[in-house]
């Protein structure tokens, strides 16, 4: 059930009312008892997440998780050994300066 904001045009009283969407709009102010009450726009439509299905663990099967983990591991770059890195550094060549 949503919460609606109300304001009285006669006395300026503002309050929130927790009511069903199917309930009629209140017209009588609880403070001054005049029929100048109006419901304000922009409130009342709240989103409430109930039940399962809102978390990754609620809807993923074990086979999907295993396949995703396998894909993740295969897409990561493999670490190079220290010997390979040293060999690459030795074979790197520096550009030669041009003779004028």
Q: What are phi and psi of 16, to 5 degrees?
A: -110, 145
Please enumerate in sequence order all residues whose Cβ is within 8 A of that of 10, keeping only pairs 6 or more positions apart, or say none: 29, 32, 34, 36
SS3 label, residue 59? helix
User: Do the domain assignments include residue 12?
Assistant: yes
Whole-number pLDDT of residue 88:
55
User: Do the domain assignments include residue 30?
Assistant: yes
What domain range includes position 21? 3-39
pLDDT digits (tens, 9 = 90+) for 26-68: 999 999 999 999 998 764 456 666 666 556 556 667 787 788 8
pTM for this model (two decimals): 0.41
Judged by average pLDDT, the poorest of 7-16, 40-49, 88-97 is: 88-97
**Is pLDDT of 24 > 80?**
yes
User: Do the domain assignments include residue 46?
Assistant: no
pLDDT digits (tens, 9 = 90+) for 58-78: 666 778 778 888 888 888 766
User: Do the domain assignments include residue 82?
Assistant: no
């Amino acid at each position: 059930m949503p919460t609606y904001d109300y304001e009285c045009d006669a006395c300026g009283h503002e309050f929130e009312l927790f009511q069903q969407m199917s309930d009629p709009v209140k017209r009588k102010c609880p403070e001054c008892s005049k029929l100048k009450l109006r419901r304000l726009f922009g409130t009342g439509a709240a989103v409430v997440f109930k039940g399962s299905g809102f978390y990754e663990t609620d809807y993923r099967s074990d086979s999907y998780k295993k396949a995703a983990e396998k894909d993740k591991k295969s897409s990561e770059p493999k670490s190079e050994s220290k010997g390979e890195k040293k060999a690459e550094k030795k074979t790197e060549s520096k550009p030669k300066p041009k003779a004028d």
